[in-house]
Amino acid sequence: MTVSNNRSRFVKTLSAASALALGAVVLTGCAPATTAGGCELGSEQSGDLTLKLGSALPLTGNLAFLGPPEEAGAYLAVDEINAAGKGITIDYTPGDSGDTDNKAYDTEIPRLLNAGVEAVLGAASSGVSLQFIDRLTAECVIHFSPANTSAAFTDYEDKGLYFRTAPSDVLQGEVLGNLVAEDGHQRISMIVLNDSYGTGLAGFVTEAFEAAGGEVIAAPTYNTGDTNFTSQISEALAGDPDAIVLVTFDEAKTIVPELTSQFPGENLYFVDGNLTNYSDDFAPGTLEGAKGTYPGVNESKIADFVTKMNDAWVARGNAALELNAYGPETYDAVVLLALAALEARSTEGANMAEKLQEVSGGSGNGTKCTSFAECADIINDGGTADYDGPSGAVTFNEVGDPTDGNILIQQFDGNNVPATIRG
C-alpha cells in the first residue's frame, strides 16, 4: 500500500522526448536531490525535531523471550532522549513482529507506516525481517534491527536504508565451529531451522568446524510452526555424533527433552536464537555443561547499564528481566537514529540514513562520546559525534553492517541457566 505523510516518499523523475532529425530542444526542470538508492532527500527542518519511530519486536512467536530486553532497551533510550532536551523528541509507536508462523508483521507493518514512522526497529529474527524489509524501503523508511545476524542482509538491495547493531553470523559461526572443535568433538550433527538465519548460521558453523578437521554427519531441518521433531532427532542421532548443535529458536523447549532422553545434555551446543534461561522448562541438570554463543557484550562490563535498564523496565509495571540479550543493541539503535536526525537536521528516513554511518564513527573522523546527551551537545555545537554505547563501538560500514563485534561463550549450570565464561 502507498502511505501518504504530507509528502511523497517515492523518487520523482523528469523525462523529455528525444530530439530527432533537426534536433528539437529538450527542456528539463530541477529534480529534487535523491540518495544513491533513489529516495528523495528532504530539506533541513527548523526548530526542534520530532522523530516518529516504530518497532516490530518479538512480542509473540518463537523469539518472544527476546521481546522484553529489546523493548526495555528501546523504552530506556526513548525516555532518556526525550528527557535530555537537546532539540529532538521521539514519538514512539511499539509493535509486534511475531514470527513467520503467526505473521503478526502483516498487520503491524502497515499500521506503523500509516502512523507515519520514519524508522522501524526490528525484527529480532532475520527470517522475519526479510518478510517486510521491502515494504519499508519501498516507502523510504529506515529498517534498523538490533538482532538480525543473517549474512543475507550484507548485500541486500535495501536502498541504503537497512542497518543493524548485531554482527553478521559469519563471526558467530566461526566462533561456534571452533569452540566445538576445541572441546574435542570430531563428528557432530545439527538440527536447523529452515530459514535464512538457521541455514546461514549452520553453514558458517560447518565451514569453521570442517576447517578445524571435524565432520558434520547430519543437519536435518524443520520449518517454523513445526511441533514434532522426532524425525530430525532420529536423523541427528543416527550416525552416533560426539555433539549436537541446535540452530533453533524457541523450538528448543520441545526438542531438548526428547533429545536428552537419548543423548547427554552436556554435549549440546546452542546459539543466540535459543540461548536462554531454561530453569522453569527442564529438570535440574538437563543442560549442565552445555555451551552456546551469542553476539553481545559481557554484562559484567556494563553492570550499571543493565541495572538501569532493568529498573526502568520494572518501573513501567513489568516483571524483572530474565535476560538482557539485545537490550543494549536496541538502546544503541535508538540513540544512533536520534543522533543521525540531529546531524541531518531532519527526521526523514532518507536524510537520517545518510548520517548514520557518520554518527557511528564509520566516517567523518568524529569526537568520541558515550551518551546521547554528550553526543548531541557535540552536534549542536557544530562538531561531529562518534557514538560508542553499551553494546560497544558500533561502527557502520557503507552497507550498514557493524565492522566488528563480540561473541559471548556461555555455559549452562545445574539449574539450566547460562552464564558467560568467555567474551
**CA-to-CA separations, 60 to 68, 196, 312, in angstroms, rounded:** 11, 20, 22
Q: Are residues 238 and 282 in the same domain?
A: yes
Domain of residue 61, residue span: 49-166+304-356
Whether 25 is covered by a domain: the verdict is no
For range 388-401, the mean pLDDT: 95
- Decide if pLDDT at 5 tops 70: no
Closest to 98 in 3D by CA, of 125, 117, 134:
125
Q: Are residues 270 and 207 in the same domain?
A: yes
The tally of CA atoms less than 13 A away on the side-chain side of residue 231 is 7
Q: Are residues 161 and 182 in the same domain?
A: no
| Number of domains observed in the structure of the chain | 2
- Decide if pLDDT at 103 tops 80: yes
Give tens-digit pLDDT for 209-239.
999 999 999 999 999 999 999 999 999 999 9
User: Is there a contact between 230 and 201 (Cβ–Cβ < 8 Å)?
Assistant: no
Q: Which of 356, 381, 398 is the last residue of a domain?
A: 356
Q: Are residues 225 and 276 in the same domain?
A: yes
Whether 23 is covered by a domain: the verdict is no
Least confident of 159-163, 204-208, 300-304: 300-304
Q: Are residues 174 and 156 in the same domain?
A: no
Give tens-digit pLDDT for 315-367.
999 999 999 999 999 999 999 999 999 999 999 999 999 999 999 999 999 99
According to the model, what pLDDT value does residue 1 have? Answer: 38
User: Is there a contact between 325 and 296 (Cβ–Cβ < 8 Å)?
Assistant: yes
Closest to 147 in 3D by CA, of 244, 40, 58:
58
For residue 11, name the pLDDT band (cuts at 50, 70, 90).
very low
Q: Are residues 201 and 327 in the same domain?
A: no
Q: Are residues 152 and 86 in the same domain?
A: yes
Whether 334 is covered by a domain: the verdict is yes
Whether 77 is covered by a domain: the verdict is yes
User: Is there a contact between 150 and 196 (Cβ–Cβ < 8 Å)?
Assistant: yes
Does this model's pTM top 0.85? yes
SS3 201: helix
Whether 6 is covered by a domain: the verdict is no
- Decide if pLDDT at 26 tops 60: no
Whether 400 is covered by a domain: the verdict is no
Q: Is the dihedral of CA 155, 347, 359, 77 positive or negative?
A: negative
Least confident of 57-61, 265-269, 298-302: 298-302
For residue 18, name the pLDDT band (cuts at 50, 70, 90).
very low
Contacts of 105 (CB under 8 A, 6+ apart): 56, 96, 97, 98, 123, 128, 131, 132
For residue 19, name the pLDDT band (cuts at 50, 70, 90).
very low
Average pLDDT along the chain: 92
Q: Which residue type sits at 85?
A: G
SS3 146: coil
Whether 376 is covered by a domain: the verdict is no
- Decide if pLDDT at 43 tops 80: yes
CATH of the domain at 81: 3.40.50.2300
Whether 366 is covered by a domain: the verdict is no
Q: Are residues 104 and 144 in the same domain?
A: yes
Q: Are residues 162 and 174 in the same domain?
A: no
Q: Are residues 265 and 410 in the same domain?
A: yes
According to the model, what pLDDT value does residue 31 have? Answer: 58
Q: Are residues 236 and 207 in the same domain?
A: yes
Q: Are residues 287 and 329 in the same domain?
A: no
- Decide if pLDDT at 4 tops 60: no
First-residue to last-residue Cα distance in the chain:
44
For range 260-272, the mean pLDDT: 98
The torsion defined by the Cα of 175, 181, 184 and 190, in degrees rounded to 10, comes to: 100
Residue 107: other Cβ atoms inside 10 A: 12
For residue 423, name the pLDDT band (cuts at 50, 70, 90).
confident
Give tens-digit pLDDT for 54-70.
999 999 999 999 999 99
> What secondary structure does DSSP assign to 321-367, as a single string?
PS--TTHHHHHHHHHHHHHHHHHHT--SHHHHHHHHHHHHTSSS--E
